[in-house]
Structure 1
Amino acid sequence: MATVSLSSVPKRLRMVEDFRCTSCQELNLEESADIYCEACHMFYCKRCGHLHNRLSTEHTTVGRGDIKKWPVPKEVEDFLRMCEAHEDKILTQFCQDHTQLCCSDCVVKIHSQCSKVTQISELTNSQPTGLEGLSVELETVLGEIKTLQISQKASIQSFQRTYKEHSAVMIEQMLGNLNTYID
């Protein structure tokens, strides 16, 4: 059975597997984080967390059991902001014609003929901070999409009613014309 090394997988396709201890990373060590300190804004493994808790007794820490309160790691943020087609470019624009996020290269090469390409910063009133801000932003967009969906369904139903009424009138007229010709 063949194995694949990480070096053979493009950097863009690698997912951030886990939260890393901030202190250990500074020493070029790879240790998984077990707690997050809200005061320091840092992740700690068991060993570093034990030292941190002894030195900073007033700080509030959050364990893995409540991982939803941990912020999104910078690696994940960076991963989500990078263009898939142009790995060295950051997504800065949105093409409404294709409903697609784009970098500056994508706009020039792919979306140059599109009529509605807008800066992402212009589309949002404020930049979401952390996972909660992103969640609120997504819920807002989802609400707008649902509103549009309801509006579209209502338009389709109205169109179908109009079509049925119009076709019934046309059939009656044709029957009347046929009866006239037959008579």
Structure 2
Amino acid sequence: MASKHGTSWKDSVSNAGDEIHDFSCSVCKDDNLNIEAEYFCGDCSKYYCDTCLTFHAKLLKHHVVLGRKDVDMWVGQGDALVACALHPPKVIELLCEDHDELCCHLCVSLNHRMCRSISLISDLAKGIHKMANFKQLPANVTKVTDRLNQVNEARKKNQNSLNTSGKSILTQIKNLRSSLNEMLDELEKMTVEQIDSVLADLDGSLQKDIDHCDLLHDQLKALLDTVQAQGKESSSYIGFKKCKDTMEEANRLLHEIENKQEATITFQPDTRAQQLLSDLKALGNIQY
């Protein structure tokens, strides 16, 4: 699995050792050493082995350090942006270029053994803050979130129009029913059930689009805020990659929604109702 970006993942692992730890010393990891961490500093958001903690304690005496007895409190204390979603508390350090996926070392061991190109994030992230694509990220995210807002508002207006149409149809049904005798009771019930079912189906489809727009909008805003607060190139690269992936998903959703026809319904009463009451199963057809 050779890398196109300098130091390969295999070289890194061979230098660091084969043992996989739940938590590895952050300082040793920077030196390509795979040493299990015994402590976590919440102020530094870093893990330390016994040796590295000695130097940390001399320089930063007032930092709060958690030992192994408080290991449950370690999880979630680090940078959520670089945390591996599949294998917490592992951190994302690699990119499988065959699948274009961000990975931790465990991801590679389990799911990408046969992949040919695994690169270190630290190599890929070099100079990212100067890259044109990274500089354009805020504008690109804003463009997508603005479009999500526009489509979201259009769907809400369609939703309101649909509800208004539904109420209007119900009024037509009631007016038509008032001209008939007691034989219409069951037919009215069946027709109202029909329109309620259609409205529920259409409203559910619109609400699904609205909820999806809201979700992607919030994800993009949160990711952008996190990326812009980063100073570390690796974290910035990961945030940049996640933003691009989420924007691709948002663009697919926008394309799908924008190609949908606006949901509408109408009611067409049956003019033969008075002559054919005994044969009717509904007062009319709901069209959408």
For the aligned pair, the TM-score class normalised by the smaller chain equals 0.3 to 0.5
Larger radius of gyration: 2
Structure with larger RCO (C-alpha < 8 A, sep 6+): 2
- Structure 2 length normalisation: TM-score? 0.26
Report the structure, 1 or 2, having the larger helix content: 2
- Structure 1 length normalisation: TM-score? 0.37
